[in-house]
Amino acid sequence: MKPLSLDLRQRVIHAREAEQQTLGRIAQRFALPKASVQTLLAHYHATGQIGPKPRNAGRKPVFQGEAARRLEADVLAHPDATLAELRDRSGFPVALTVVHRALRKMGFTRKKNRYRRASRNGQT
């Protein structure tokens, strides 16, 4: 869901602060759910800002930048290593699925007991 525009946020806050309108009246006037008006006003009173909260995209990937390059070099040096071995050599205390997803994102596939880059020709 997209955040409300700054103009609409300003009008809602002005209606409450300057015009002393009720939450129900403001919600009806601007065609918003009453809960949205309550949340907007609570955010404004808590922070003093009318802008939306920053959006977090979840956890940051462990294997990015230099760590991803080290993992890739380790896989190329030891193509028959298990996920547990790769994780232990990386030095990060992560789940095996994290290592697997990082390798899959890099384009490595598990085939015939070793990791290698996916074929550009497709499956044979």
Q: List pLDDT tens digits, range 51-62.
A: 988 887 778 889
Q: d(Cα 115, Cα 99) in Å, to the nearest integer?
A: 12
Q: Where are the domains of the chain?
A: 6-47, 66-117
Residue 18: pLDDT band with limits 50, 70, 90: very high
Give the pLDDT score at 123. Answer: 63
pLDDT digits (tens, 9 = 90+) for 78-91: 988 899 999 999 99
Mean pLDDT within 92-117 = 82
CA atoms within 13 A on the CB side of 66: 2
CATH number for 66-117 (one of 3.40.1630, 3.90.1690, 1.10.10, 3.30.70): it is: 1.10.10
Quote the pLDDT of residue 122: 64
